[in-house]
Homo-oligomer: A and B are copies of this chain.
């Protein structure tokens, strides 16, 4: 479905490309009007209505704000939730822990680290319970108050509907808020492993979460959804204070409007996927490309370090192959192990089948050479 991109050659990440062409077309089309600034424009409002329809709520029940980056979303969401001595519980490999240059601590709050469930790399209720128990030394312990997780997780696994129900129930029982980083929410929700988890579920089960645009077809932008009334109150002031409220908020509104609007009849062909909005069609494509690559490696006898549940793949290969994969396809070495290394491959809305075919052919050729 994506237009042919001339120079897509890597599987390095899902943000090396520009925007899906429909996004740019929408920006062009909407460019010739004056709009209210700071997120009060017609496109942002339309995007809010479209997202609310998916959440199953009226616009007054959800505060929806658009921000330019995932780090901005995470830092201001967390700052909005916590009193000064309150802390956020997260997986020790969580994105906010060591990949955002200390953004969370810069807002004054501690991250309390929890080890993941083995094999899946996911957060489980027992981890939360233990973290709370270990921080009950009053008045010395920072107070756990918020649980952060990302879906998909850092290793590409996704949370199922029942897993998220259990986590949400644990949080409510322990008087904890729950927030989800949805940088890759599209691929997570469209994964078979999600077992039907929907935006509506997320809205019911969390206090706030965000829907990633940057990694799902947009030029930039993430949509924060706040259900908790206390946190939603004056939320826009957090955006402004953190430098995340764009004067031309339309830039973000137009993109999310395009991503979530109903598909036009002309675009709705026979395939079931095309019946959904652009956001999920792009996610489906990325997932499908990842599954193909996963099968490709598995069929050639390489082990996957984690099940392929979204657009991230982790494959164990010999060091020599990893080096060549890096040179040819830009993939990262994720983990050095004793006998082999794990490389990460990432697909996106822009990954072309042709590129996957090239990987297949290359793998075949390189093995001849290596052998």
Contact = CB atoms under 8 A, between A and B. Distances in A.
Interface in A212-251: 214-215, 219-220, 234, 236-248, 250-251
A34 B19 contact: no
B32 A16 contact: no
Interface in A258-294: none
A33 interface: yes
A50 interface: no
Contacts of A76: 243
Interface string A9-34: 11011011111010010011011111
> How many copies make up the complex?
4
A68 B70 contact: no
A161 to B, nearest CB: 29
A70 B140 CA distance: 13
Given A9-B34, A102-B110, A240-B101, A15 B247 contact: yes
Nearest to A80: B84
Contact of A234 (B109, B134, B143, B214): B143
A238 B103 CA distance: 9
A339 interface: no
Given A32-B5, A219-B251, A248-B219, A243 B24 contact: no
Contacts of A5: 31-34
- From DSSP, what is the main secondary structure of chain A's interface residues? loop
A85 to B, nearest CB: 4
Interface string A78-104: 011001111100000000001111111
10 closest A-B pairs by beta carbon, nearest first, are: A72-B243, A18-B31, A102-B142, A15-B247, A101-B240, A71-B243, A85-B237, A16-B34, A101-B241, A68-B68
Interface of A: 3, 5-10, 12-13, 15-19, 21, 24, 27-28, 30-38, 67-76, 79-80, 83-87, 98-111, 113, 134-135, 137-143, 214-215, 219-220, 234, 236-248, 250-251
18 contacts: A8-B34, A16-B34, A18-B32, A24-B31, A68-B68, A68-B69, A71-B245, A99-B137, A101-B139, A101-B142, A102-B142, A105-B105, A105-B111, A106-B108, A106-B241, A139-B245, A143-B237, A219-B251
